[in-house]
């Protein structure tokens, strides 16, 4: 990021001061909102109560709200000038679903739902979207916006199952939207900092399942059976060995088997076995070659074991590719609103996946990493039972998103 980019996107100081002042006033509300969401999490596909709670908070702003199908997920619009009704509009997206993990924290706001927890920060994401809408609505009420804006907040279900973005797009969340911004908490990054990267940000991810059908029998007489467990274990070893050797070493592919299921008794060879896992890739060609190799592995194991081996692909999320101009806009805005040193360049893409990528098939967008490591929390990784965030990150992100929305409509940004 050079000085000309920063100057191009610089906001009036009075606007930046108003953002800071209103954020300080609203911060206690934002912490209470996040803690409520953390105490009452809902799994992917079941986010109806979360949707209703978030709708009630946005309804206080008297904004047009549309609840998506099945009562899961919603959008809200903040248009400060009627002339923008059919003009440019930027969206900010947050996800709202939790994970099937038992919350082991000692915090007063720990999950009250057994076996369900916001272990990926979606409670924080949702809070930040509402907080940003609140902040900008208050700026409109105080006449501190330097120019008109057009904003849509998207609160999306089912990110963890890679179904929520398509659900929201199907229900017109992107209608009239020209660009989109999202974020994800990052427990490896200090609170007050963000991570940014132009171009490729996350990997594409394919969920796969392999079914092995053989011929069961007695554990004492394996020669009379076609053992699907033998086929299953051979498949894992062969796939782990062959896929990395089939793909150009300059590209990155990660194959992981996360689930195996077979049999009911220690002395019975079952008729079938099943495994499932993920294939993550950073290029179209690497993905194609890896999938071809997995098909080859299936054919080879079927010949070796006399079992039927069937590979099927399930949920898929494309790679997230950050728009260059939006990334630079966000960088310049963060340098002004947070601190020039707050922006940390991400050197390599993440092998994690994000269904935010589906929005990017329709409009340009950018996703950033939000630092949440701090004195309040112990640094537990995402998707673990002790995960928590330094809640100061909520105010940082709301200020940054509010400023970025205003910057998007900057006279120098076309």
CATH number at residue 224: 3.30.70.360
Task: List the pLDDT tens digit at each of the 414 positions of the chain.
Answer: 555 566 678 999 999 999 999 999 999 999 999 999 999 999 999 999 999 999 999 999 999 999 999 999 999 999 998 776 557 899 999 999 999 999 999 999 999 999 999 999 999 999 999 999 999 999 999 999 999 999 999 999 999 999 999 999 999 999 999 999 999 999 999 999 999 999 999 999 999 999 999 999 999 999 999 999 999 999 999 999 999 999 998 889 999 999 999 999 999 999 999 999 999 999 999 999 999 999 999 999 999 999 999 999 987 899 999 999 999 999 999 999 999 999 999 999 999 999 999 999 999 999 999 999 998 787 899 999 999 999 999 999 999 999 999 999 998 776
Task: Tell me, yes or no, whether 192 and 216 share the same domain.
Answer: no
d(CA 6, CA 15): 16
pLDDT at 2: 58
pLDDT at 69: 95
Residue where a domain terminates, one of 275, 290, 317: 317
Task: Tell me, yes or no, whether 209 and 300 share the same domain.
Answer: yes
Q: Is residue 366 part of a domain?
A: yes
| Main-chain dihedrals φ then ψ at residue 151, nearest 5 degrees | -130, 140
| Number of CB atoms found within 10 A of residue 302's CB | 18
| Helices assigned H by DSSP within 89-186 | 122-141, 164-170
Task: Tell me, yes or no, whether 7 and 131 share the same domain.
Answer: yes
pLDDT at 286: 95
Q: Is residue 34 part of a domain?
A: yes
Task: Tell me, yes or no, whether 293 and 349 share the same domain.
Answer: no
**Which residues contribute to the annotated binding site for Mn(2+)?**
120, 122, 160, 184, 383
pLDDT at 7: 65
d(CA 128, CA 93): 9
CB 176 within 8 A of CB 253: no
Structural domains in the chain (count): 2
CB 275 within 8 A of CB 207: no
pLDDT at 207: 95
**Which residues contribute to the annotated binding site?**
120, 122, 160, 184, 383
């Amino acid at each position: 990021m050079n000085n000309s980019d920063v100057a191009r996107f610089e906001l009036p100081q009075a606007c930046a001061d108003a953002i800071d002042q209103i954020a300080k006033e609203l911060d206690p509300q934002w912490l209470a909102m996040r803690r409520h969401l953390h105490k009452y999490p809902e799994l992917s596909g079941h986010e109806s109560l979360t949707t209703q709670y978030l709708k009630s908070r946005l309804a206080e702003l008297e904004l047009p709200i549309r609840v998506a199908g099945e009562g899961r997920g919603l959008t809200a619009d903040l248009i400060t000038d009627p002339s923008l009704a059919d003009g440019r509009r930027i969206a900010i997206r947050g996800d709202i679903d939790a994970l099937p993990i038992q919350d082991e924290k000692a915090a007063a706001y720990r999950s009250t739902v057994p076996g369900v927890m916001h272990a990926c920060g979606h409670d924080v994401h949702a809070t930040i979207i509402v907080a940003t809408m609140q902040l900008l609505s208050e700026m409109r009420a105080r006449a501190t916006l330097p120019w008109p804006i057009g904003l849509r907040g998207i609160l999306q279900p089912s990110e963890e199952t890679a179904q929520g973005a398509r659900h929201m797009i199907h229900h017109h969340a992107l209608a009239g939207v020209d660009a989109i911004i999202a974020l994800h908490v990052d427990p490896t990054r200090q609170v007050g900092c963000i991570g940014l990267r132009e171009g490729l940000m996350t990997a594409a991810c394919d969920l796969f399942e392999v079914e092995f059908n053989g011929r069961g029998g007695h554990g004492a007489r394996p020669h009379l059976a076609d053992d699907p467990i033998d086929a299953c274990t051979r498949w894992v070893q062969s796939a782990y060995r062959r896929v990395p050797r089939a793909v150009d070493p300059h590209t990155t592919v990660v194959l992981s088997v996360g689930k195996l299921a077979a049999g009911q008794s220690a002395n019975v060879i079952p008729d079938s076995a099943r495994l499932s896992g993920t294939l993550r890739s950073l290029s179209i060609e690497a993905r194609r070659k890896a999938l071809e190799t997995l098909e080859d592995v299936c054919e080879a194991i079927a010949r070796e074991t006399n079992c039927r081996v069937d590979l099927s692909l399930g949920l898929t999320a494309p790679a997230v590719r950050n728009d260059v101009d939006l990334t630079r806009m966000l960088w310049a805005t963060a340098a002004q609103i947070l601190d020039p040193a707050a922006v940390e360049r991400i050197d390599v893409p993440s092998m994690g996946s994000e269904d935010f990528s589906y929005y990017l098939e329709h409009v340009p967008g950018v996703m950033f990493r939000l630092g949440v490591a701090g004195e309040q929390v112990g640094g537990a990784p995402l998707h673990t039972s002790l995960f928590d965030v330094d809640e100061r990150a909520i105010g940082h992100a709301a200020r940054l998103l509010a400023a970025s929305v205003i910057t998007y409509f900057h006279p120098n940004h076309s």
